[in-house]
C-alpha cells in the first residue's frame, strides 16, 4: 500500500503507543512510509529497538509504562528532544484480558487503566504541545459497540474511549486540534493468530461476520489512521471511523434473510 499519498504528514512527529508489535507496529510503519517521524512506545525493548532500527533515523523507541504519568511525560519530552515537535498522538496500547462478569475489581482497574485512563492522561499531557492542525487518534473497536457474552472489560473500555473522543474533540477544537477514533473489527494480529493459527483459517471464520469476506490487515488499519491524521481529513473531528469490512452493518441475522434462517433452522 502506498502511504506517500497522505497529504501533510511528511516531517511531522507521531507518538504511537503499544507499537512494538501487531497493529501498533503496522501503524508506526505507515507513518514512517508517509514521511513522518514516529516514536515507538511500549515495554518490549528488544522488539521496539529492532523496529526502530528498521525504520531508521525517523524512528525513536521509548520504553514507557503508560500506567505512570511521569513515564508518559518522559516519553513526550524524549519526542520533543529528538524531533523538535509533536503533531500526532495515537492511543493504541491495549489489554485484552477479560473474564466478563467474573472479572475482579483488580482486573477491572488494570484493564481500564491501560485502555482508557492512560489514553486520557497521555492526551492531557500531549495536548499543550500539539500545534494547530495536531491530531489525536484513539483506537476503538467494534467490541465497544455490541454486546458479547463472557466479555465486559475490553468492550467497556473501548466504548468509553469512543465517548472521550467526543469530549476531547470539543475541548481541543478551539486550539485547532482534532480528535478522532478508528475502530477495526477482526484484524490479523498476534491475538487473532493465536486463536486461528493461520490467516486462511482467520479469513474462513471471519467471512461469516464481515461482508467483505475476510479479516482485515494491519496495513489497512494503518492507512485509515494515516488518513485521519492527514490534511485530507482536516474537517473531521469527534467521530469514529469504522474500518471493519462491513462488520458493523450486520445485525444478529448476519445479513441473511428470515426466509433462509427459517429454512435452515425451523423444526
Where in the chain are the domains? 13-245
pLDDT digits (tens, 9 = 90+) for 215-263: 999 999 999 999 999 999 999 999 999 999 999 999 888 888 888 988 8
What integer pLDDT is reported at residue 254 of this predicted model?
86
Q: Give, in degrees to the nearest 5, the angle at Cα 184 between 178 and 186.
A: 170
What number of other Cβ atoms are within 10 A of residue 1's Cβ? Answer: 11
Q: Give, in degrees to the nearest 5, the angle at Cα 154 between 148 and 159.
A: 85
Q: Any bridge partners for residue 39, and if so which?
A: 15, 60
Is residue 104 helix, strand or coil? coil
Long-range Cβ pairs for the range 43-46 (8 Å, 24+): 44/20
- pLDDT band at residue 127 using 50, 70 and 90 as cut-offs: very high
d(CA 178, CA 132): 9
Residues annotated as catalytic are 154
- The average pLDDT across 163-175 equals 98
Please state, for a pLDDT cut of 90, what percent of the chain lies above it. 88
Please state which of the ranges 33-42, 49-58, 191-200, 224-233 shows the lowest mean pLDDT. 191-200
Residue 154 near residue 110, CB atoms below 8 Å: no
d(CA 203, CA 213): 7
Is the C-alpha dihedral spanning 222, 35, 136, 59 positive or negative? Answer: positive
Residue 158, C-alpha cell as written in the block: 473501548
Q: Any bridge partners for residue 178, and if so which?
A: 135
Alpha-carbon torsion angle 183, 184, 186, 190, nearest 10: -100
d(CA 74, CA 109): 24
Decide which of 123 and 263 is more confident: 123
d(CA 217, CA 146): 22
From the options 3.90.1170.30, 3.30.1330.10, 3.40.50.720, 1.10.3720.10, give the CATH code of 13-245: 3.40.50.720
pLDDT for residue 191 is more than 90: no
What integer pLDDT is reported at residue 256 of this predicted model?
87
d(CA 145, CA 142): 5
pLDDT digits (tens, 9 = 90+) for 43-90: 889 999 999 999 999 999 999 999 999 999 999 999 999 999 999 999
Q: What is the Cα Rg of the chain in Å?
A: 19
Please state, for a pLDDT cut of 70, what percent of the chain lies above it. 100
- The average pLDDT across 191-200 equals 92
pLDDT for residue 153 is more than 90: yes
In terms of Cβ atoms closer than 10 Å to its own Cβ (0-12, 13-18, 19+), residue 246 is: middle
Amino acid at each position: 500500500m502506498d502511504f506517500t499519498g497522505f497529504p501533510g504528514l511528511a516531517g511531522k512527529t507521531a507518538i504511537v503507543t503499544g507499537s512494538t508489535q501487531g497493529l501498533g507496529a503496522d501503524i508506526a510503519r505507515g507513518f514512517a512510509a508517509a514521511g513522518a517521524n514516529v516514536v515507538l512506545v511500549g515495554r518490549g525493548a528488544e522488539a521496539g529497538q529492532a523496529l526502530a532500527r528498521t525504520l531508521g533515523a525517523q524512528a525513536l523507541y521509548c520504553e514507557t509504562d503508560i500506567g505512570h504519568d511521569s513515564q508518559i511525560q518522559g516519553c513526550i519530552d524524549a519526542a520533543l528532544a529528538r524531533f523538535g515537535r509533536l503533531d500526532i498522538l495515537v492511543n493504541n496500547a491495549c489489554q485484552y484480558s477479560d473474564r466478563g462478569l467474573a472479572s475482579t475489581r483488580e482486573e477491572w482497574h488494570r484493564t481500564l487503566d491501560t485502555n482508557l485512563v492512560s489514553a486520557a492522561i497521555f492526551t492531557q499531557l500531549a495536548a499543550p504541545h500539539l500545534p494547530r492542525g495536531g491530531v489525536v487518534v484513539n483506537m476503538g473497536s467494534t467490541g465497544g459497540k455490541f454486546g458479547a457474552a463472557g466479555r465486559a472489560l475490553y468492550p467497556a473500555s473501548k466504548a468509553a474511549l469512543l465517548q472521550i473522543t467526543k469530549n476531547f474533540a470539543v475541548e481541543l477544537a478551539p486550539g485547532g486540534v482534532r480528535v478522532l477514533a478508528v475502530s477495526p473489527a477482526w484484524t490479523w494480529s498476534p491475538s487473532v493468530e493465536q486463536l486461528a493459527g493461520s490467516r486462511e483459517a482467520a479469513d474462513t471464520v471471519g467471512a461469516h461476520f464481515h461482508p467483505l469476506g475476510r479479516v482485515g490487515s494491519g496495513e489497512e488499519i494503518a492507512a485509515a489512521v494515516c488518513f485521519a491524521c492527514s490534511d485530507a481529513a482536516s474537517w473531521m473531528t469527534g467521530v469514529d471511523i469504522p474500518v471493519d469490512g462491513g462488520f458493523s452493518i450486520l445485525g444478529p441475522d448476519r445479513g441473511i434473510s428470515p426466509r433462509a434462517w427459517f429454512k435452515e433452522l425451523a423444526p
